[in-house]
Amino acid sequence: MKIALIGANGNVGRVILKEALLRGHTVTGIVHDLSKIKKEQVNLKLVEGNIFDEENISKAIEGNDIVISAFGPKHGEEKSLVDATKSLINAVKKASVPRLLSMGGAGSLLVEGDVKLVETKDFPSDWKPIALAHGDALEQYKQEEKLNWTNLSPAAFIEPGKRTGVYRVGEDNLVIDEKGVSHISFEDFAFAMLEEVEKPKFSRRRFTVGY
């Protein structure tokens, strides 16, 4: 499968790239600055792209089967995620790429009834801007009736770890383990994302993964 990966050199993007290549896919890695990328790999083409430039991204993703976005805004510019999402949606339509799969956030996941994780009293204040931005971006996707989108929210804690391929899947509710902790490794998050690429189950929906 031909995959266009936006944010291929980010913390999570690098792991998604590794997982995609491991599975034998052909990847166009779209990065902000090519000078920061030193290693070429088989089945990988690297190009510069600006997610805020609809025309630029449209040309970069053209001809692929799916776009994966691992884009994350800079600290202090969290609200720009919504503009990036709008630009990306329009670019995918313009390039006629059949599917869009993006990394979401955990803050908009439900923890009790209609209460979102970001609304709980213990939610870290430093994380609120990006959590709210991801929630707003998700709403942008939900307004799209014709675009085949999927949004994958990680668990509350996501960090480097092991690739086990063993995790639980949820939809709008936060996944927690037997100790009440919600966590996932970068590696298993990437595994779950590529599983959705290869065996789609959540068309026009959000889903989440955790241990």
CATH number at residue 18: 3.40.50.720
CA angle (141, 104, 198) in 5-degree steps: 85
Tell me, what's the pLDDT at 38? Answer: 63
| Strand-by-strand arrangement of the 44-48 sheet | 44-48, 26-31, 2-6, 66-69, 99-103, 149-153, 205-210, 168-170
Domain interval for residue 44: 2-210
Instruction: Say how far apart CA 48 and CA 32 lie, in whole Å.
Output: 5
pLDDT at 32: 87
- Given this model, what pLDDT does residue 131 score? 96
- For the chain, the domain total comes to 1
pLDDT at 30: 95
Question: Rounded CA gap, 206 and 102, in Å?
Answer: 9
Return mean pLDDT, the chain: 95
Residue matched to tokens 């675009």: 147
Q: What share of the chain is helix, strand, coil (3-state, %, to 5)?
A: 35, 25, 40
What residues in the chain have per-residue pLDDT under 50? none
* pLDDT reported for residue 112: 86
User: What's residue 132's pLDDT?
Assistant: 97
Predicted local distance difference test score (pLDDT) of residue 202: 98
